[in-house]
Structure 1
Amino acid sequence: MSGGNNGKLIPRSILIFGAAGRVGRPLAAFLHHQAPQIQLRLVSSNRQRLDDLRRDFPYAEAVYANYFDLSSLESAVQGMEGVFVVAPTGTDERLAMTNLVAAIREAGTAVHVLRVLGLQPEANPRRFPQHIHDLGSGLPTQHPMAKRILDESVLPVTYLNIGATFMDNLMRTKEGLRRERKLIWHDRLIPWIDPRDVAEVAGRLFLSDNHRHIGQFHTLNNGHDLKRYSDVAELMSEVFGEKITHDGSKESFLNEYDKFGVRPSSELWNFFSYEEENEVVWALNDFVERTLERKPLTLREWLQEHAKILLASVPRRGMSSREPSH
């Protein structure tokens, strides 16, 4: 993906926020495999996870840092040339990114910062209905703010916009699948992507010498799956070899997920309703495929890989032994 006359330094050290998470963990593994000479520093905001990170990544340094504790950020970014930034839903991005920018500037060593965004961060906040604004730090109002702060910082940032839903979000639905062979979720239209592919994209961008990625806003999806959840239920039926129905009613959604502790279900439902009014924005693209130089994992392949976990039984037909290449 690089042209001639490239001018970006490849980081000799990389700091990974959210290193115990769905993207940070496979990113650390990918970087060690592809470029073991790079010094890795893995961050968790949960001190109890540090021992697990040290056990799983003995070749890396594991440190505690919190976006709201400036001194911990200053210590974490010290000497780091690459910085991978992801923030959990609910983060007050104004304070978090203001602190992080100050710490990175103070260190003065960053040559490439990758920031993960999502929830349609390119949307005009003036178009948000009041119930979205009322969520405060909850959902889509925060990521545009994060981007604005990072843009104004003039740091060497590349944005990875997750213009998709992570395939492993389907793990939330496994109770309904196991109990009733029913996929219970809002019938949202959304592209799909495996977070392991997102991790590899991030890793390959860090390892690229192409300076043209600096300042860019790359939207990621697998280029193949743009599906409603009712379509996913049909695909599950094919893959699992038994009928999977779909229930997209608000009543069923609230009843199902309030009891499992998923983020207040009414807030999620309201966000999906907002998203539905803007679903024309979704478009598949080949950025991930071009970056990986291979086809990203399809939703069918992910379902084949995780069928046993989702159903707690082996499907009768439609299974494949293919393992995704990550």
Structure 2
Amino acid sequence: MILVTGATGTIGREVVRCLGPERDVRILARDPARVVGASPCADVVAGDYADEASLARALAGVSRAFLVTNRIGDDDERFVRAARAAGVRHVVKLSAAAVNDAGAQDLITRQQRATEGLLRASGLAWTLLRPRSFMSNTLAWAPSVREERVVRALNGTSRNACVDPRDVAEVAVRALTQEGHTGCAYTLTGPEPLSARDQTRELGRQLGIELAFEELGLDAARALLGRRYPPTVVEALLESARRQEENAKSAVAPTVLEVTGRPARSYADWVADHLSAFRGP
């Protein structure tokens, strides 16, 4: 059996979809009602990393697990301990590409490095997925695109080799269902580095409208992020953005092609499949 965590999030949702009905799948979610797109055959169970009894129930009979953690703290440690006790053989962990960047010292990246080390030392077989920024992050622009025909973002000209979440999920599913991926750390990117201005132009082109781009200052970006994240995470994200300004996130990796046998999807591909989110009334 395969256990999927993070199934209500960007990557976990796609992993569930890719696994399909032919696999024996269990899904762990804090709120099972929020799980969408799962096969009717999937076993959806309630639980939380902080609830060790719920972890033990979810991991019973599981041989492989997809692990996503978002909170700063001990969630990975609890999961790994429970997985080892349950006899899980292989954990596929969603990490981040920034762990390879010695200059990246923000709180989130340091946490990812620590959790990677924890998994490596656990005695479990492991695979690490290290994606760049998700193309789907630009869905945050949808309200202003629809209502004002404008995109507002920090660092409009710095580039990031952003990746389609579907590509990350497909690599994850191969690691969960095929041999030959244990002990591998996969850096996952799109086919080219893009800036926010590049993405704005592509959105406008496919929408058939002229989109304006407004550069956010640091204070405005901090206030905008503060609506969604606690202050410590906001500062980590802003520090990460500074690394992007220093061209630390533009390198392209061939990993999606090497693992899946097809090239990574472009941002234009992603926009074409999500255009309805940006269309106005």
TM normalised by structure 2 equals 0.87
Distance in structure 2 (CA, Å) of the matches to 1:278 and 1:142: 22
Q: 1:30 matched to which residue of 2? A: 18
Equivalent residues of 2:101, 2:248 under 8 A apart: no
SS of equivalent residue, structure 2 residue 115: helix
Q: 1:20 matched to which residue of 2? A: 8
**Residues 184-243 of structure 1: CA distance to partner in whole angstroms, max 9, x if unpaired?**
111242112221221111112222122xx2111110112x13111122122223222222
Relative to structure 1, the CA distance from residue 277 to residue 184 in structure 2 (aligned partners, 3 Å threshold; closer, same or farther) is closer
Using the TM superposition, give the Cα deviation of residue 254 of structure 1 relative to its aligned residue in structure 2, in angstroms: 3.3
The 5-angstrom pairing of residues 53-72 of structure 1 reads: 53=35, 56-72=38-54
Residue type at the aligned position of 1:271 = E
Q: 1:176 matched to which residue of 2? A: 144
Deviates more, 1:143-152 or 1:231-240: 231-240
**Residues 80-105 of structure 1: CA distance to partner in whole angstroms, max 9, x if unpaired?**
011000112x331xx21221121111
Using the TM superposition, give the Cα deviation of residue 107 of structure 1 relative to its aligned residue in structure 2, in angstroms: 1.2
Matched, 1:120 2:93: no
SS of equivalent residue, structure 2 residue 273: helix
Q: 2:214 matched to which residue of 1? A: 247
Q: 1:263 matched to which residue of 2? A: 229
Using the TM superposition, give the Cα deviation of residue 174 of structure 1 relative to its aligned residue in structure 2, in angstroms: 1.4
Relative to structure 1, the CA distance from residue 115 to residue 172 in structure 2 (aligned partners, 3 Å threshold; closer, same or farther) is same
Two-structure CA RMSD over aligned residues (Å): 2.6
Instruction: Indicate which of 302, 312, 323 corresponds to 2:270.
Output: 302
SS of equivalent residue, structure 2 residue 263: coil
Distance in structure 2 (CA, Å) of the matches to 1:292 and 1:253: 40
Q: 1:285 matched to which residue of 2? A: 253
Q: 2:26 matched to which residue of 1? A: 41
SS of equivalent residue, structure 1 residue 80: coil
Number of residues of Structure 1 aligned to a counterpart in Structure 2: 277
Instruction: Indicate which of 176, 179, 182 corresponds to 1:206.
Output: 176
**Unpaired stretches in structure 1, ≥5 consecutive residues:** 1-12, 134-138, 314-326
Matched, 1:196 2:166: yes
Distance in structure 1 (CA, Å) of the matches to 2:265 and 2:147: 28
Q: 1:229 matched to which residue of 2? A: 196
TM normalised by structure 1 equals 0.76
Distance in structure 2 (CA, Å) of the matches to 1:54 and 1:189: 33
The 5-angstrom pairing of residues 137-148 of structure 1 reads: 139-148=108-117
Equivalent residues of 1:186, 1:272 under 8 A apart: no
